Amino acid sequence: MKQTLSPSPGLDIVIFGGAGDLSFRKLLPALYMAHAHDKLSADTRIVAVGRQAWQTVDYLAFIDTHSPAFIEASEFDQAVWQSFLQRLVYVCVDVTSAASFAALTSVCATPCLRVYYLATAPHLFSQICAHLHSAGLVDAQSRVVLEKPLGTGLASARSINQEVAQYFAEQQIYRIDHYLGKETVQNLMVLRFGNAIFEPLWRAPSIKSVQITVAESVGVGSRAGFYDGAGALRDMVQNHLLQLLCIVAMEQPISLDADDVRDEKLKVLRSLRPMRLADVKRDTVRGQYTAGASDGQPVAAYLDEAGVPPDSRTETFVALRLQINNARWANVPFFLRTGKRLQNRRSEIIIEFADQAFSVFGKSETSEPNRLIISLQPEESIQLAMMVKEPGTGMHMHPVRLGLDLQQSSEKRRAEAYERLLMDVIKGRLTHFMRRDELEAAWTWIDPILAGWAELDDKPRPYPAGSWGPAASSALMARDDLSWFEEH
């Protein structure tokens, strides 16, 4: 690896897949926000790399048409946008051809800190890294950001990791999971480790169950090409839901240093009870949406979406029951659930506390267990469900929620996940990115589920768009005498 001549103040953010969906929907709007809020130094350039035989002016026209719709209207200012566009340069590169990288070398002639954002299909990652290296564009301070999905299983994830590692050291690699950039997800750590009241209760037997839901109301949209080969388990559970699980279940790290935090998350992943075939059969539910309604409008079945093969068995919904083999979580069931075309867009974590061993008030129809309800999106709130006295004569109880609206709790601007994570990359902060062993541990647990489904020839269960998934998902919880939150 070539060493840098000297630290240089300049910064190039080089985006491969510069004209792709992720770039114009997320990355450029996030960089615009950073620019608008003076977070990018004057000498920061954004170098978009794409296959299209465009000049920079064509790319600017493309971005100008597509990106502003993804910037909050109250944050969009035409003059600021025009000054942002001046940072952009477009380079046409065929990433499969080493010779084609000459165009990039000439644009990147001056040494500076370079962040390579690989927003392309993962099978191109190793080629891009190899060609960057041979073109002399990788030095000890370069960073590479790898978008998910990183592989389709343990074997492919390992081989991508191995190949990228030939050109970048682990501390130069930023494996992104945008859920780790969400304000509410980062806040989970503060909630757990910055408040004295939770720690003594955050364990078995005080906690009876944990449920984590990431529900989407959107369908597959225009992404069938990718999604049909992936499905909800690879697209959402392997990364976003397991990362949320790690933050809920991990021990307090010894510091906020990236490796200390990631060591603790790794321990959770390694403690997940492995899924044998019988567990896959009993503890997992796959679903696929049929025609129904979303926001009051009729919507098509997954099988009728553009680009989906008519006999596809890809799951658009998954629910899982899992256990963590350690003392803190002994016998506490964790339930994960995610799906497209569900009733609403809602991500939440519900911590259900154990029933009281004894209560002088006895059990009444209105009594409910204490629950901590952490809403990640669209609302950002924390609520504690508790029992209070119903006003009036007698001593009757009724449930109420003690609530904290996180959006109202500070006047400060809440940056979007991609903006926050891009700034972390620029500043060299790895805490909110996945380490190689963490990613591989997640796949190690996921692979047997995929294999189990294949072996069982498991067909996804139909569920109407606009519902909460197949009935089997409720049955999965009912076995433990529990129910999903919306069923309470």
The catalytic site residues sit at 240
Of 27 and 138, CB closest to ligand BG6:
27
Torsion sign (Cα): 352, 357, 359, 362: positive
- Both tokens of 122, joined, read 């993962």
Smallest separation (angstroms) from ligand BG6 to the CB of 236: 6
- CB crowding 199-225: b at 16 or more within 10 Å, else e: eeebbeeebbbbbbbbbbbebbeeebe
Closest residue by Cα to residue 4 from 116, 113, 143, 164: 113
Distance CA(56)–CA(119), nearest Å, equals 19
Smallest separation (angstroms) from ligand BG6 to the CB of 229: 12
Q: At what angle do helices 258-271 and 436-456 cross, to 10 degrees?
A: 20
Which position's Cβ is nearest ligand BG6?
A: 235
- Both tokens of 163, joined, read 């190949």
Smallest separation (angstroms) from ligand BG6 to the CB of 182: 7
Of 235 and 315, CB closest to ligand BG6:
235
Q: Does the protein bind ligand BG6 through residue 416 (CB under 6 A)? A: no
Of 16 and 227, CB closest to ligand BG6:
227
Smallest separation (angstroms) from ligand BG6 to the CB of 235: 5
Of 88 and 176, CB closest to ligand BG6:
176
* Residue at 481: amino acid letter: D
Closest residue by Cα to residue 143 from 125, 120, 166, 170: 170
Q: Binding ligand BG6 by CB under 6 A: which of 183, 235, 438, 440?
A: 235
Of 235 and 419, CB closest to ligand BG6:
235
Question: Using the 8-state DSSP alphabet, how is residue 240 labeled?
Answer: I
Of 44 and 187, CB closest to ligand BG6:
187
Q: Where are the beta strands (DSSP E) in 362-478?
A: 371-377, 381-389, 397-405, 461-464
* Residue at 244: amino acid letter: L
Of 50 and 219, CB closest to ligand BG6:
219
Site size toward ligand BG6, by CB under 6 A:
2
For the chain, state the CA radius of gyration. 24
> Binding mask 158-197 vs ligand BG6 (x if CB under 6 A, - otherwise)?
----------------------------------------
Distance CA(127)–CA(118), nearest Å, equals 11
Q: Does the protein bind ligand BG6 through residue 216 (CB under 6 A)? A: yes
Distance CA(71)–CA(90), nearest Å, equals 21
Distance CA(49)–CA(96), nearest Å, equals 13
User: Does residue 149 have a cis peptide bond before it, meaning omega lies within 30 degrees of 0?
Assistant: yes
Q: Does the protein bind ligand BG6 through residue 147 (CB under 6 A)? A: no
Smallest separation (angstroms) from ligand BG6 to the CB of 414: 14
Residues 6+ apart with CB under 8 A from 288: 302, 303, 312, 313, 314, 315, 316, 317, 460, 461, 462, 463
Other Cβ atoms within 10 Å of 138 Cβ, number = 22
Smallest separation (angstroms) from ligand BG6 to the CB of 157: 16
H helices within 371-435, ranges in order? 417-427
Could you give the C-alpha distances from 1 to 140, 164, 428, 446, in angstroms and in order? 7, 13, 19, 34
Smallest separation (angstroms) from ligand BG6 to the CB of 417: 7
Q: Which residues bind ligand BG6 (CB under 6 A)?
A: 216, 235
